[in-house]
């Protein structure tokens, strides 16, 4: 279980069961395992045969329903662009018409439907649990709709908010949640966990992911990792023409990410003599590289929009500081 990398955080979550708050906010860097912890805690709340340490048994009917994605007392609020945003409809619900293009935000209709969900008596006589992820993907209207439930929570309802950027949440939402920070795991333990998942070069991918084990696993085993490898080879070879030959938007984001992390490592090497993301960076003009890293952060946002990929790639490479 990923909770083995977050023993202190899990112990705190398990200890909250005796006086369970109505809302928890799990926050930390992307890819450290916040959602996995929230899911495990939700499963422990509906488990009918808890194990020592507050761990769910994995065998009872409640656990089996959760693992099958069909527990009637668990509801996920996630953007439609996320693959798992297929929460089972409540009995009697009429199917709703959907937009042709899935939303990349949590929709207000989802938050309104959550009000009906948490005010209904539990199917199993226990808690009703709502997991909101990523919580910052709510616009103001959606957040205000959720806030109504947080201000007057019904008995037996528990809200688990998972956020990469809690500062983007409404202050009124943050104030009604018990904050549970989820730190980056210890590097040695995280590398051992990755190796147990069959990841080769676990230390290298963990460094590139900034210490976040789930992000490192995604890099090492998915298509994103293969795209990053291609960019890293192009950077190592100094082949700017190959790097600029971005044929689609899917090639742009890995390019911007690699360039941003390379720039940060150049700046860190200059300021501290060390790097953060594992690149073989040499010291350079820290101010210039930090400015370029900030520019790449903005470009990473632009890569999600329908721009000309080659022009954007050429622009990113043209601004690359000289050694």
pLDDT digits (tens, 9 = 90+) for 84-100: 544 443 444 444 454 55
Asked whether residue 202 is assigned to any structural domain, the reply reads no
| Same domain assignment for residues 25 and 76 | yes
Domain boundary among 152, 181, 210: 181
Percent of the chain with pLDDT strictly greater than 90: 59
| Same domain assignment for residues 228 and 176 | no
Asked whether residue 253 is assigned to any structural domain, the reply reads yes
| Same domain assignment for residues 165 and 246 | no
Asked whether residue 98 is assigned to any structural domain, the reply reads yes
Reply yes or no on whether the pLDDT at 54 is more than 60: yes
Asked whether residue 194 is assigned to any structural domain, the reply reads no
| Closest alpha carbon to 182 in 31, 1, 17, 54 | 31
Asked whether residue 193 is assigned to any structural domain, the reply reads no
* The predicted structure's pLDDT at residue 225: 86
| Same domain assignment for residues 24 and 126 | yes
CA distances from 24 to 12, 17, 158, 162, 313 (A): 12, 12, 8, 8, 41
Mean pLDDT within 265-269: 91
Give me the residue label for tokens 């935000």.
105
Residue 98 CB: number of other CB atoms within 10 A? 10
Asked whether residue 307 is assigned to any structural domain, the reply reads yes
Residue 307 — pLDDT band, cuts 50, 70, 90?
confident
Q: Is 33 in contact with 182 (CB distance < 8 Å)? A: yes
pTM of the model: 0.84
| Same domain assignment for residues 23 and 167 | yes
Domain boundary among 121, 148, 181: 181
Contacts of 33 by beta carbon, 8 Å cutoff, 6+ apart: 2, 3, 5, 6, 182, 185, 213, 214
| Same domain assignment for residues 37 and 165 | yes
Phi-psi region of 150 (alpha: psi -120 to 50; beta: other; left: phi over 0): alpha
Most confident of the following: 19-23, 251-255, 309-313: 19-23
Residue 104 CB: number of other CB atoms within 10 A? 11
| Same domain assignment for residues 153 and 241 | no
Reply yes or no on whether the pLDDT at 8 is more than 80: yes
Domain of residue 302: give its range: 222-318
Q: Which tens digits make up the pLDDT trace of 193-217? A: 999 999 988 999 999 999 999 999 9
Q: Which tens digits make up the pLDDT trace of 224-244? A: 888 898 888 888 888 888 888
Percent of the chain with pLDDT strictly greater than 70: 92
Residue 265 — pLDDT band, cuts 50, 70, 90?
very high
| Same domain assignment for residues 28 and 165 | yes
| Same domain assignment for residues 245 and 174 | no
| Same domain assignment for residues 146 and 90 | yes
Q: Is 110 in contact with 143 (CB distance < 8 Å)? A: no
Residue 33 — pLDDT band, cuts 50, 70, 90?
very high
Q: In what order do the strands lie in the sheet with 74-77?
A: 74-77, 128-132, 157-163, 23-27, 178-181
| Same domain assignment for residues 252 and 104 | no
Domain boundary among 181, 208, 243: 181
Mean pLDDT within 167-184: 96
- The dihedral of CA 159, 58, 194, 78: what is its sign? negative
Reply yes or no on whether the pLDDT at 72 is more than 60: yes
The chain-wide mean pLDDT, for the chain, equals 88
Asked whether residue 137 is assigned to any structural domain, the reply reads yes
CATH of the domain at 101: 3.40.50.300
| Same domain assignment for residues 128 and 235 | no
* The predicted structure's pLDDT at residue 92: 43
Phi-psi region of 53 (alpha: psi -120 to 50; beta: other; left: phi over 0): left
Residue 192 — pLDDT band, cuts 50, 70, 90?
very high
* The predicted structure's pLDDT at residue 250: 80
Asked whether residue 190 is assigned to any structural domain, the reply reads no
Our count of domains for the chain comes to 2
Q: Which tens digits make up the pLDDT trace of 119-165? A: 887 887 789 999 999 999 999 999 999 999 999 888 899 999 999 99
- Which tops the pLDDT comparison, 281 or 75? 75
């Amino acid at each position: 279980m990923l909770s083995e990398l977050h023993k202190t955080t899990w112990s705190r979550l398990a200890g909250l069961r005796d006086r369970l708050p109505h809302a928890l906010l799990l926050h930390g860097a992307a890819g450290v395992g916040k959602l996995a912890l929230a899911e495990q805690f939700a499963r422990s709340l509906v488990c009918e045969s808890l194990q020592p340490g507050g761990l769910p048994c994995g065998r009872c009917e409640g656990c089996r329903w959760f693992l099958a994605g069909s527990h009637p007392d668990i509801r996920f609020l996630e953007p439609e662009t996320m693959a798992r945003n297929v929460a089972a409809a409540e009995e009697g619900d009429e199917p709703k018409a959907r937009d042709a293009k899935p939303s990349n935000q949590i929709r207000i209709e989802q938050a309104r439907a959550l009000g009906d969900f948490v005010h209904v008596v539990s199917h199993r006589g226990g808690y009703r649990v709502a997991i909101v992820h990523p919580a910052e993907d709510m616009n103001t209207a959606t957040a205000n709709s959720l806030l109504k439930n947080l201000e007057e929570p019904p008995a037996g309802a528990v809200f688990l908010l998972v956020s990469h950027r809690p500062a983007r949440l409404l202050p009124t939402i943050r104030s009604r949640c018990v904050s549970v920070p989820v730190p980056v795991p210890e590097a040695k333990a995280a590398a051992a966990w990755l190796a147990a998942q069959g990841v080769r070069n676990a230390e290298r991918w963990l460094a590139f992911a900034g210490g976040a084990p789930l992000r490192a696993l995604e890099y090492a085993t998915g298509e994103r990792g293969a795209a990053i490898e291609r960019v890293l080879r192009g950077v190592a070879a100094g082949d700017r023409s190959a790097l600029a030959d971005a044929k689609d938007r899917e090639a742009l984001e890995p390019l911007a990410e690699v360039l941003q992390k390379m720039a940060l490592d150049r700046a860190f090497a200059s300021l501290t003599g060390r790097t953060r993301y594992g690149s073989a960076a040499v010291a350079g003009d820290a101010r210039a590289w930090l400015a370029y890293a900030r520019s790449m952060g903005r470009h990473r946002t632009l890569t999600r929009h329908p721009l000309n990929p080659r022009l954007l790639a050429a622009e990113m490479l043209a601004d690359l500081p000289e050694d």
